[in-house]
Structure 1
Amino acid sequence: MVSICEIVQQALATGHLTVEAENQLRLLLQTTKYGSEEFNAFMALQKSAMAGLVRQESRHLKEPPHLCASSCSNI
């Protein structure tokens, strides 16, 4: 299984966190004992996501469609 640090490194390198990687992280955080290196990597990922440097695929799947078609037709 992939480690927390590997998932974080890939997300930071690509700027994208897939749903699969997010689920792997969730499972790893719940079922494994992790040290300060893994915790710090996870916190760096959280900060990057909050700053918009990493895009979470799961958040974009839940976004409602834009309503521009009806509101922008008069432009």
Structure 2
Amino acid sequence: MMLIRELVEQALTIGYLTVEAEDQLRQLLRKKYDHEDFNAFMTLQQAAMAGRVKQQSRELMRL
């Protein structure tokens, strides 16, 4: 399984967070993670709030 920071890097690079990646993040956040992963997750949160990363799950809710 990927690290949180790897999922975040992928989402930031393509500007999109898939439902599958969100599910993986939820699973990873339930386990122990390091400070670097925590910071990466916070960066992803900020990017999503600023509109730099779109979430597939939110787009599906609009349909």
Normalized per residue, the structure richer in helix is: 2
Aligned length: 63
Q: How does 1:60-75 map to 2 (within 5 A)?
A: 60-64=59-63
Q: Which residue of 2 aligns with 1:22?
A: 22
What is the TM-score with the length of structure 1 in the denominator?
0.82
4+ long deviations beyond 2 Å: none
Percent identity over paired residues: 60
5+ residue gaps, structure 2: none
Q: Which residue of 2 aligns with 1:8?
A: 8
Bigger Rg over Cα: 1
Distance in structure 1 (CA, Å) of the matches to 2:22 and 2:38: 15
> Greater relative contact order (Cα 8 A, min sep 6): structure 1 or 2?
2
What is the TM-score with the length of structure 2 in the denominator?
0.97
Superposition RMSD on alpha carbons, in Å?
A: 0.7
